[in-house]
Structure 1
Amino acid sequence: MTFDHASVRTTLKPWGRRDLGPWASNGRQDSPVGEISFEYDEPEGRERLLLLKLLFTREKLSIQVHPDDTAAKSMGMASGKSEAWYVLAADEGAQVAVGLKRPLTQVEFRKAAIDGSIDELLDWQDAAVGDIFYVPAGTVHAVGAGLVIAEIQQRNDTTFRIWDHGRSRELHIDQALAVARLEPASSRKMSRHITVERAELVACPFFTLERLDLCADTRWELTAGRESWAMIAAGSGTIGSLTARIGDGFFAEADRADIRVGRDGMSLLFATAASAPAADLLRELPAKDRLKPDLADIDSHRERHDVIPFPLSGAAL
């Protein structure tokens, strides 16, 4: 299977934003968009393990929790939902909440969920560009306003909403109590350099998330040994025969691709369904093999996916 552009679908959310630039080709929307999800469909309809998203927040999201694998399977689902966040853009004072300030009893939790004081019991943390947060399934969490976040998660969108800041959407307090860890969480992660170009952001039992920072006018070979998702976070170039610009998503499985980096360099977020980084993921090609991409040609023949609103069914953020 070759590296290919991922398609995108958008989900309208009351807490979303109308300005999606530069992450979408159609940067201004008529209705608030909360999520862009990257998808890749094949004729045989294989079920993917991971889901890569972009979140756009103008207001606080609901306070929520996701089931772990054990709880999810008891409900007839294939997996739980652990996730990780990488902050792409942040307004001054933007925050996320991961875990509680202190342990709570179920009685305390239920009361706080009903009257909304649960918001004050969350461990709110400042969020800035480049920050990384890991949110294991069962962790009570929320995303604040003024953020653009890249999220990689297990492919299960089951969300139990605990508090929705006075919005009229359904709450799921009983279900949340059944799966939530009512305690503080260690969420903020520090990147670890594997090589000069590769930084491990998160490695957990379900996925690995890396950032690849490639210098201008270089050429690389990228090898995906299993299900992998990539998104261009900065710069431009080509991946195989495909143009690669900010906001573009890619999918690959058991294949290699030739990356030619443009004059502004390129940063990719790269997620794979493995618990540790692959040793042979990235290889720089010798200088004699490098060919500078023609960026004028890239711009004139760029293939981008327009944003089309997609209503999401069931409980969500």
Structure 2
Amino acid sequence: TIAKGIGRQGKEECWLIIAAEPGARLGIGFDADLDEAAMRAAALDGSIEHLLTWHTVAPGDFFYIPANTVHAIGAGVGLIEVQQNSDITYRLYDYGRPRELHLEDGVAVSKGERYARDRWHKSVAPRSSQQLVDGPLFLLDQVAGTPSPDIAARYPAALLVIPREGEVEVGGEAIAPGGCALVTSLADVRFADNGICLLARGCADAA
């Protein structure tokens, strides 16, 4: 699906690749700048798929997707998506499937621009603690084992815990990879010494 998810000022999101078949790709941004008329025409005739920049991916690739960036997930990609709190997505093109499109709203807010991969992409070591997003709309960290004091200080209140490897325990309940838990405090979470998980929270001053 080629889609642009937004709120009134746009929706920021990010993708951490956890599995990828050989040649798996993400479409983010365009090979050349498009104006609204060209984007609308490309969405109508299906050529928009071929105008996107397709990035070959591997496990550990991390992409931040700025608001109003047109993007698509290709076949053979497994990823974890974390985003600014928003329930709006504008779909420009859907490969002929019968889901609703939002062409005029989507074209109006989407940027027909190249994706600045050098700025927005990083590699994440598989068994490391690493800060992935540092606001202003949300925070995201990968944690190996129990969070260090500096990471814990970023999560003083409610947060999401997303296991990648190994289980975490919340209130006596095991949360396995593929699951997610909303907790009121890090003190409510028991981390496996050999586990890997993501921590995420929205920022209080986010619009």
Q: TM-score range by the shorter chain?
A: 0.7 to 0.9
Shift of 1:113: 1.0
Letter in 2 for 1:212: V
Aligned to 1:242: 173
The equivalent position to 2:29 in structure 1, one of 99, 112, 117, is 99
CA deviations on 1:119-144 (whole Å, 9 max, x unpaired) are: 11101101211111111221111011
SS at match of 1:113: helix
Distance 1:244 1:164 in 2: 33
Unaligned runs of 5+ in 1: 1-61, 71-79, 276-317
Unaligned runs of 5+ in 2: none
Letter in 2 for 1:226: A
The question of whether the paired residues in 1 share the 8 Å contact of 2:20 and 2:76 is answered with yes
- Report the aligned-residue RMSD: 2.7
Aligned to 1:127: 57
SS at match of 1:167: coil
> For residues 259 and 135 of structure 1, do their structure 2 counterparts lie closer, same or farther at Cα, with a shift above 3 Å needed?
same
The equivalent position to 1:189 in structure 2, one of 118, 121, 130, is 121
Q: Does 1:274 align with 2:207?
A: no
Q: Does 1:209 align with 2:144?
A: no
Kindly tell me the number of residue pairs found equivalent between the two proteins. Answer: 198
Letter in 1 for 2:196: S
> For residues 111 and 248 of structure 1, do their structure 2 counterparts lie closer, same or farther at Cα, with a shift above 3 Å needed?
closer
Aligned to 1:73: none
Select the structure that is richer in helix. Answer: 2
Distance 1:258 1:166 in 2: 44
Shift of 1:247: 2.4
SS at match of 1:229: strand
> For residues 113 and 258 of structure 1, do their structure 2 counterparts lie closer, same or farther at Cα, with a shift above 3 Å needed?
closer
Aligned to 1:12: none
Using structure 1 for the length normalisation, give the TM-score.
0.56
Shift of 1:249: 1.6
> For residues 108 and 258 of structure 1, do their structure 2 counterparts lie closer, same or farther at Cα, with a shift above 3 Å needed?
closer
State which structure, 1 or 2, has the greater radius of gyration over its C-alpha atoms.
1
SS at match of 2:106: helix
Using structure 2 for the length normalisation, give the TM-score.
0.83
SS at match of 1:256: helix
SS at match of 2:68: coil
SS at match of 2:105: helix
Aligned to 2:157: 226
Shift of 1:225: 1.3
Shift of 1:266: 0.2
SS at match of 1:157: coil
> For residues 170 and 245 of structure 1, do their structure 2 counterparts lie closer, same or farther at Cα, with a shift above 3 Å needed?
closer
Letter in 2 for 1:183: E
Shift of 1:258: 5.3
Taking every aligned residue pair, what percent have the same amino acid on both sides? Answer: 32
